[in-house]
Structure 1
């Protein structure tokens, strides 16, 4: 039986199983769902065992469990380690969901549920691809390992320590991850880069109390004014970050990489119209896809202070706050970037204001050379199934643990995504297009056989 016939005959069964997985509210960020996250870990372990994997283990951590399994019966062949996560984002705002987030529903050949595309649906493909290979051929073409965590949505706090402690168990030739997306329907992509990340929270303090704007206005510093003045120094008029040394470690885009970006044929005018914008914005000299994939950023995620209620309150606020994140590329060091941001702010703080900084998360960027053979084989597998060769892209988002896998295991990372950009991951009505469910299974089988 061909694999296409096999998966077609099992389609309803597989979708029913995926619905069971998606029905588990494994929200890692909320302590009230700790038991649900544990249930999802046990579900993954049972499904791996059912698929034919061996040495299935559920490892407790200081947070949520990590599931390991392997099948090492292909001497002389490469080893592939599949990474994924079984935890999901919170569902708020609940009222915007057309159907309950943990009651999986198929509409218009799309499966709706929290986690459908990020990452339960994509992880499920790998488990079923292995089950198919063992069912059809009673052997795997390569050696397989699985390392599945339940904390990706809260920045994987316990996985790096697990990897360091189990480096021998996890040794591999290739890391395989499906947690990204195609460029568009029918246009596969392989991400060869993810931006790094650093974050901070800033507070500006002035007087020891809020003050009446009539009695004190014009005579004392205003924390909101001071904060806005300070934040305005972070960029120049050309959209560049104006912090000394910020761009250290940022590589110039090669002609070959710029050509790969051009192949995406991204329609900036269509995007502008869709978003209801007067114009796009960004660093001069770069296209939209280059800006979001291969250039660093500094973004304000929240600015607040003073009176927030209905109506007017004539007050001079004593404090104001901002939340800031940076996306990093190349060899930018997140700790060094944070140091330079703080130094810049300290040297530009307005008179009469005091600065308090709380540093947040840090992650390095991830980069792969698209010319390496394993990535070319992945592109071949996409071409076999989708009829068009995958493009090599740089993604603007951050998956911090990807860089950790690459560095700790010293293995190339192949990011074979099967989602679509408009599938509402992290938002209400998250879904997974079943066309890519079907083609994803075949593509994974093709890739493993090509290795």
Structure 2
């Protein structure tokens, strides 16, 4: 039977099985898989084993593969010889602190009524990323239950360290390149919809370069009365270096920083303009009113299509209560660059370090500590898989799905391209008010239910 003619039966199965599907999600949400805290290592293993059991029950050849950290769950379906998708999500979660701000037990999921009457699932990991991950797994379940098979060949790679840096995933992908690169396209469910009525596929993700710099001047802290003027102050040195990174027009001053940055197409710029994005509201909600990036750019361009430099932290001297008249020996800052497609993380890191070193006065030294680097990704807007997935989403939501960018970075998407040679479609059903990483994290029941239905349609569409 043709795949498209089976979709209605599979969607009916999703609707009929929603209550049982929620119970399975709740089981997973009860597992305290906090990856960054070694005290929860056994819980991370338990979550991985739970997923292996669920996937095996659906006919996948699944296993929790060991890494130097938490396991990576890999599952391969045996269905179909046609298109092959590799689905990625993560089963680990953020810590729950401050726990006193939660309105219910973070690991005892609750189905509640939100402020606007919507039903919401409240628990740590409900949105990021267990709820999103389960939309895909439950879509596979519905296909298997209703038809006995899947419309495409499906592999899954489910990570246990995304929330703690994910340092073991790239080596894992390198070691299993031949196995994982057999797919035709990667799918990631860890992003938002454009709004509550409009599904989206993120096709542009900025890359990231992060460096920590530590400036040292004197060999110990000094009394500012006894040494002031005579001794170099690392706080001032650091401040001058940081101030030199941006020009008055908002641009980044590193030489050759924009050499590999391309302009977006007029067609894409027009689509973004049609999204109805309210720049004043976006900034106003955080108490701001004036865009601070490159002049003569829309805010969406600044966020999605232009590189940036941000100061994420500065430390130096006495920061406790009261006052201490000290010239510190050291001062440090954490600085990150968001990159766009075409920019080389290694080239940007080298340019930044040279910029710093050229501005060091005599008697000062600098230590650099890298904190990750990943390239940006861009999926061609006319790609076959993208067009198929957009059609599937549009059919479910009765509204044209849109192509969006993201100001954030999802390193695994860059790794899919760099290591496995795969483009990635980022399809998620979260909302900006899901309070991920915060107390009272939630996932809309509609996001969960229609997310499953959406994946049913997307898998059918990808089957052609």
Choose the corresponding residue for 1:164, options 168, 174, 181: 174
Question: How many residues are treated as equivalent by the alignment?
Answer: 449
Alignment of 1:269 with 2:280, yes or no, is yes
In the alignment, structure 2 segments of 5+ residues that lack a partner are: 1-7, 114-118
Match of 1:36 in 2: 43
Choose the corresponding residue for 1:435, options 446, 459, 464: 446
Match of 1:92 in 2: 97
Give the superposition deviation at 1:283.
1.3
Q: Distance in 2 between matches of 1:326 and 1:251?
A: 17
Match of 1:312 in 2: 323
Choose the corresponding residue for 1:59, options 54, 60, 65: 65
TM-score normalized by the length of structure 1: 0.96
Alignment of 1:6 with 2:6, yes or no, is no
Match of 1:175 in 2: 186
Match of 1:331 in 2: 342
Choose the corresponding residue for 1:241, options 252, 257, 276: 252
Matching of residues 71-150 of structure 1 within 5 Å: 71-75=77-81, 77-108=82-113, 109-150=119-160
Q: Distance in 2 between matches of 1:248 and 1:22?
A: 46
Distance 1:339 1:140, change over 3 A: same
Q: Distance in 2 between matches of 1:96 and 1:60?
A: 35
Q: Distance in 2 between matches of 1:140 and 1:315?
A: 67
Contact 2:206 2:409 (8 Å CA) reproduced? yes
Give the superposition deviation at 1:44.
0.8
Give the superposition deviation at 1:268.
0.8
Alignment of 1:294 with 2:305, yes or no, is yes
Can you list the C-alpha shifts for 1:86-124, whole angstroms capped at 9, x where unaligned? 111222232332223222122221111111111111110
Aligned partner of residue 126 in structure 2, secondary structure: coil
Aligned partner of residue 17 in structure 2, secondary structure: helix
Q: Distance in 2 between matches of 1:162 and 1:40?
A: 19
Match of 2:434 in 1: 423
Contact 2:11 2:142 (8 Å CA) reproduced? no
Give the superposition deviation at 1:23.
1.3
Give the superposition deviation at 1:351.
4.6
Give the superposition deviation at 1:31.
1.2
In the alignment, structure 1 segments of 5+ residues that lack a partner are: none
Distance 1:279 1:95, change over 3 A: farther
Contact 1:249 1:331 (8 Å CA) reproduced? yes
Match of 1:18 in 2: 25
Contact 1:85 1:123 (8 Å CA) reproduced? yes
Give the superposition deviation at 1:183.
1.2
Aligned partner of residue 224 in structure 1, secondary structure: helix
291-300 or 273-282, which deviates more: 273-282
Alignment of 1:46 with 2:57, yes or no, is no
Q: Distance in 2 between matches of 1:166 and 1:4?
A: 34
Can you list the C-alpha shifts for 1:401-448, whole angstroms capped at 9, x where unaligned? 112113333333221111112211222222111111111111111111
Give the superposition deviation at 1:375.
0.7
Contact 2:311 2:335 (8 Å CA) reproduced? yes
Q: Distance in 1 between matches of 2:238 and 2:172?
A: 41
Contact 1:260 1:393 (8 Å CA) reproduced? no
Give the superposition deviation at 1:70.
1.7
Can you list the C-alpha shifts for 1:216-235, whole angstroms capped at 9, x where unaligned? 22332212111111111010
Task: Please tell me the root mean square deviation across aligned C-alpha atoms, in Å.
Answer: 1.6
